[in-house]
């Protein structure tokens, strides 16, 4: 079926010649030119079906009733991409030019929130994006064990106070160039990419260049901090609102919601004096409780409580997040239990569980009469670096070989640790290490893979840093 199109194009002769060649390659289409203001003919006067112009001349964002039907390669006489525009309700025109669109060769960029700390706080959708990635550009404060979800290239582009940082313009350009090369790109950011993560700048840069972008949210540090301290950011009769603020540039803030709500300051460790002064000037009561949460979402998360009056004297090293408001009055970080065996889901303890495997399973060979039996487990090699045991209230020992592995890494069994033992042989192994019998208790064991285990087990993984 023949179709007749009106094309608005007011460009140099070489470009007009190129467009004629493009149109001639499309079978069954007749066309005529309108050599005036291309986009006005397409929109205001509605005299054209399509408009052709230089892609970098388009106003961004496009009018809602317009769409880019195709982006056409540069030609030697005109070193800019050409944009073929049509009305958004003309799916037939989008389909007509689809095969000419160079964006079909582009990759896609995913802006992915890694969550605030522990690798198990990342979403399933984010894991799937990482599995597809040809290249991952990852930030500071991202658990690097997450990179194991991807077999693609890994590029560190982190920013951290006091360290050499990667310029945002260079990151934007790297994302764009990787996408134009046809790669599937993941930009992996700590927390949620839309909250103080510069996602807006990266989305804007890429969309202005017609690269497809998708954002995958992550657990933000404010949520992780309240979860760490076991308090709610909002609470009936106490706090009806939450305000997220950056501690950088706090002096320039002109308006903040009333003192009745909860304030959350990101990147706050080095700005406590400035924030305290600002709160006081805004009439926030000096006895308002505050809490500083460090490493929210990681195994070593901790919090320091105070008030607006004494918060400037609180000492905490970054990364730290400050929460101001009455909801923080009872904030406490619960100490965790350290599981050093293979499967933490089978431990039925009440404490939150952190998993640092010190042993690994060994596959069993086919039994043979002339060959001794191979052990089921062996010590992880290389050994992981020991964790600071002051963050833990207990250690879970699943077998005697786990007891030996713990001693190899930690050298001793500190007196403040309760020792969970799976069975009598494990209890005997602990007593041989001179652990007081009163510190050794039976560990509730769940059947592996049971529904109860899947629903109730909460663990954090610690990457092997050996």
Give the residue numbers annotated as catalytic, written as ranges: 139, 159, 267
DSSP lists the bridge partners of residue 245 as 265
* Nearest alpha carbon to residue 301 among 196, 383, 234, 229: 229
Give per-residue burial for 49-68: e unless 16+ CB within 10 Å, then b. Answer: bbbbbebeebeeeeeeebbb
Residues 6+ apart with CB under 8 A from 19: 7, 9, 11, 52, 82
CA distances from 358 to 129, 350, 387 (A): 30, 22, 12
3-class secondary-structure state, position 429: helix
DSSP 24: H
The HSE-up count of residue 429 (CA atoms within 13 Å, CB side) is 19
Residues 6+ apart with CB under 8 A from 24: none
């Amino acid at each position: 079926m023949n179709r007749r199109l009106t094309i608005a194009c007011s460009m140099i002769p070489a470009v007009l010649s190129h467009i004629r060649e493009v149109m001639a390659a499309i079978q069954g289409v007749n066309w005529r030119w309108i050599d005036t203001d291309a986009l006005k003919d397409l929109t205001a006067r509605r005299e054209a079906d399509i408009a052709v112009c230089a892609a970098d001349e388009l106003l961004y964002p496009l009018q809602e009733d317009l769409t880019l039907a195709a982006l056409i390669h540069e030609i030697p006489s005109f070193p800019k991409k050409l944009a073929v525009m049509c009305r958004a309700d003309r799916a037939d025109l989008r389909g007509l030019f689809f095969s000419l669109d160079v964006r079909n060769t582009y990759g896609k960029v995913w802006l992915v929130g890694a969550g605030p700390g522990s690798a198990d706080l990342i979403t399933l959708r984010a894991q799937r994006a990482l599995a597809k990635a040809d290249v991952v550009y990852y930030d500071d404060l991202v658990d690097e064990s997450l990179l194991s979800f991807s077999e693609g290239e890994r590029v560190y582009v982190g920013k951290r106070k006091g360290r050499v940082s990667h310029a945002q313009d260079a990151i934007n350009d790297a994302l764009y160039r990787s996408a134009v090369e046809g790669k599937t790109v993941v930009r992996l950011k700590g927390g949620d990419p839309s909250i103080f993560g510069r996602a807006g700048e990266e989305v804007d840069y890429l969309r202005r260049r017609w690269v497809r972008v998708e954002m995958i949210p992550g657990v933000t540090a404010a949520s992780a901090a309240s979860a760490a301290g076991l308090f709610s950011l909002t609470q009936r009769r106490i706090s009806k609102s939450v305000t997220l603020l950056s501690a950088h540039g706090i002096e320039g803030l002109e308006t903040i919601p009333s003192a009745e709500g909860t304030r959350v300051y990101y990147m706050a460790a080095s700005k406590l004096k400035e924030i305290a002064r600002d709160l006081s000037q805004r009439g926030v009561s000096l006895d308002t409780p505050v809490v500083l949460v460090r490493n929210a979402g990681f195994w070593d998360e901790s919090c320091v409580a105070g008030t607006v009056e004494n918060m400037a004297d609180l000492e905490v090293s970054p990364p730290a997040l400050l929460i101001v408001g009455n909801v923080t009055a009872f904030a406490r970080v619960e100490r965790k239990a350290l599981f050093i065996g293979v499967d933490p889901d089978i431990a039925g303890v009440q404490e939150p569980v952190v998993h640092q495997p010190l042993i690994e399973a060994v596959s069993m060979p086919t039994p043979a009469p002339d060959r001794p039996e191979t052990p089921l487990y062996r010590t992880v090699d290389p050994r992981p670096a020991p964790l600071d045991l002051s963050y833990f209230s207990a250690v879970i020992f699943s077998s005697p070989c786990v007891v030996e592995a713990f001693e190899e890494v930690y050298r001793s069994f500190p007196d403040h640790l309760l020792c969970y033992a799976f069975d009598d042989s494990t209890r005997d192994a602990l007593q041989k290490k001179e652990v007081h019998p009163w510190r050794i208790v039976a560990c509730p064991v769940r059947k592996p893979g049971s529904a109860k285990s899947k629903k109730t087990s909460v663990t954090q993984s610690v990457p092997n840093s050996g």
